[in-house]
Amino acid sequence: MGCILKGGGGLYSRLVVGAVLLAAGEGARFGRRPKSLLQLGGVPLITRQVVALSGAGVDELVVVLGHHADAIEPAVQAFPVSLLRNPRPEDGQVSSLRAGLAALSDKIDVVVVALADQPLINAGDINAVVGAYKKRAPGTEVVVPRVAGEPGNPVAFSASVRQQILAGDANVGCRQWRAAHPAAVHWFDTDNRRYRVDVDCEDDIARLHADTGHQLRWPPEWASPAVAGAPAQTLA
């Protein structure tokens, strides 16, 4: 991909930034619907994330799909990203993360891992995480935003951590690595609550509307749960 998404100097000078965007889930708590296709202002959440990462100037972006891959792919295929299908999304988020990390090139200095179900994250939020990585405490290799004592997303970590995750047990992802290496974690304390907002169930949609006024809506073809007539599209 080269530097198609690079912002041209500034924040990312001397750093090559790769990103993995996770969107392989089944959406079981939404009636087996692809929550990354929920729309805010008429734009699918996954498209908003790709635009945010692109606007933040990442050099490479791997989008990991799994369940509902055929339905989600059209929402991002026009962007200069690498689309990757996890052949076993039922193995969980760690398997998708590891697949995405393996797909990044060897030139990456820092990895940003983002979730497709965070409706409010923008390019500035991603820039702030990478900026915190550049200013992290000596000896730390992972930066996690923390809001009111609670961890958020996206996170950033070094190429070394990426290599260690990929060389380790198949059940080890970023969260497990962090738990095993607490001294290597730099907590980016902030009052930006967007890092803590995601949508896992209908209650989260209602809460987002009550707290912010933002209303998430399903596209017409997914207006009803899969069990009621909109079949979940999975890999063959």
Q: Please state, in angstroms and as integers, the Cα–Cα distance from residue 87 to each residue in 38, 84, 221, 226, 234, following that order.
A: 23, 9, 25, 21, 10
Q: Write down the domain spans for the chain.
A: 14-227
pTM as predicted: 0.90
pLDDT at site 13: 55
pLDDT along the chain (236 residues), means of 10: 43 81 95 97 98 97 97 96 95 96 97 98 98 97 98 98 95 95 98 97 96 96 67 34
pLDDT at site 48: 98
pLDDT at site 224: 86
d(CA 150, CA 147): 5
**Domain 14-227 superfamily per CATH:** Spore Coat Polysaccharide Biosynthesis Protein SpsA; Chain A (3.90.550.10)
